[in-house]
Chain A
């Protein structure tokens, strides 16, 4: 425990959790959505490696047909859940034709190759662009799920990630509404909470997580967090230079409400368009104040009961 154990920048969450100086460096994901092609190799690899049961949009409470398609583009998993640790979001947008033609993002386009000259003014013509993004547990520096877990099932690992120890979880469900990103969930029929482990078993064996290994475009990059952050800064600068002004990093800032994410993103639109909260904050930040208010209210109860016995007749 240190000054910023509950909130604020924290360089080494594993050390804060009590691991010795010889613990491995903190690892994470940098998901560069500008090169995601929506192939879902990550989702499939994750399901395979972690032996996750099938689920679908229906399980996520959004209806869905027999294939799990629910009118959400090519999305048939709906969101992260107890059996979906990687989720590819599909967003279909109509954008001014010139703008998206300025840069080559390998995005599907409605035009013949070469039909559009870069930067040419095409009036009010529009075209479709797809945003695709592979979402995952953020492995927060300050993880609300871990903070609120009453059994100690959720732990910080030596790699700086956040892990559910399934042999301890009693399915109290507290982590689920605590997560500001809506990641962790209870598996129906099992009762316990599940989420991305960053393939803890593979990390121990010196392997990369399954999703990053399977990703054909290196949209999902795995590595030491410091390296990933530097790489992301470079990628952002180069995209900005190419005129992709809407590119932005999400979750890389150690001064944000969760002390920075262990899994962060390069996005091409506002976070909420991908189903991500624009300004997440770990609920624990306000917990000291919550306890103070609860103590004041409890004293009010004690005083009210005490006063009721004063001076009254039998």
Chain B
């Protein structure tokens, strides 16, 4: 076949400005440049919003539960309200994204461990119920005992809320998500901690635990996202370029600024004259920036995956590479991931 001059498309895989291309000389062939896999029909903002709100609600619920146990009434209140509000809005976005919203309850027909969306529905349903009950008790002052039990249940489910969505994206044939399955849960975990802690800062209950949660979460979010951009093979390219790259750079800027503002409050108070008003403003800005960064991170991750779905290079080139490795006789199994 060497002398063949194919009239069908043969294209160099994109290297952007040639920087850090994982497959430096990758020729690949395709059918009229069409995508190989079907790009998801999931919409923006529905799905990024669902990811962001679910994560924020999860951390807020855990903060509220521990606040309850340690007697921090203000943090308990804001946490319960954010958790319930986030859960309800996240479900609303999920339902809105369905092709047949009126059949939403079919999600509860079965429990399937092979379907992250099924598992997720069975985490989201009790989480939404528990946090909703806790918030109702908080607002009305009725049944505080039941409210405490519900709040604790929500707090226990909270961490699961923050990371099942990473599996939801990774468990697809979308190269930019599947190849990131080790990193994505930590990106989402950090992003949720930053936003959940940040929501308490906005509410004015940021002192102590929420501030620490927000700053630690932001650090995790930044570090894990950096791995997406560098360590996941060819798809890393999609996280650095195009709209996804721009959104993720904006996310990083917001998160870094948010961390700075979150740390600034207590520091300025210590060195300068104490000013509750200034602290309040700084904390609110910090919380808003961290939430903006978190939401943008989800959007950027979503967009990067979409880019790798539309461009057949991201599917063909890595698959060709592992076929070549297999033919070279390293005996690896089909689809064995190239060593990282």
Contact = CB atoms under 8 A, between A and B. Distances in A.
A46 to B, nearest CB: 18
A246 B1 contact: yes
A109 interface: no
Interface in B59-118: 59, 62-63, 66, 70, 72, 97-101, 103-104, 106-107, 109-110, 112, 114-118
Interface stretch (B15-23, B162-170, B233-241, B247-255): B162-170
Contacts, number: 280
B159 A309 contact: no
B112 A152 contact: yes
B281 interface: no
B6 A94 contact: yes
Given A148-B171, A192-B100, A289 B181 contact: yes
A242 interface: no
Contacts of B217: 304
Contacts of B204: none
Given A93-B8, A144-B173, A177-B172, A305 B209 contact: yes
Interface string B133-176: 00000000000000000000000001110111011101111100
Interface string A127-157: 0100000000000000010011111110000
A128 B28 CA distance: 21
A227 interface: no
Nearest to B322: A279
A106 to B, nearest CB: 20
B244 to A, nearest CB: 16
B26 interface: no
Contacts of B164: 294
A55 B62 CA distance: 49
B171 A290 contact: yes
A273 B31 contact: yes
Interface in A270-314: 270, 272-281, 283-287, 289-291, 293-302, 304-309, 312-314
B271 interface: no
Given A182-B38, A298-B189, A89 B31 contact: yes
B123 to A, nearest CB: 10
Contacts of A277: 36-37, 315-316, 319
A272 B29 contact: yes
Contacts of B293: none
Nearest to B165: A294
Interface stretch (B39-47, B272-280, B284-292): B39-47
A243 B215 CA distance: 67
A294 B167 contact: yes
Considering the complex of A and B, which 8 residue pairs feature the smallest CB-CB distances, nearest first? A171-B99, A191-B99, A281-B335, A275-B31, A297-B185, A170-B103, A308-B209, A279-B319
Given A95-B5, A148-B115, A179-B38, 11 more contacts: A147-B114, A171-B100, A173-B99, A273-B30, A275-B30, A275-B34, A278-B319, A278-B320, A287-B116, A287-B167, A293-B186
10 contacts: A62-B32, A169-B103, A174-B172, A186-B99, A191-B100, A273-B31, A283-B173, A287-B116, A294-B164, A301-B58
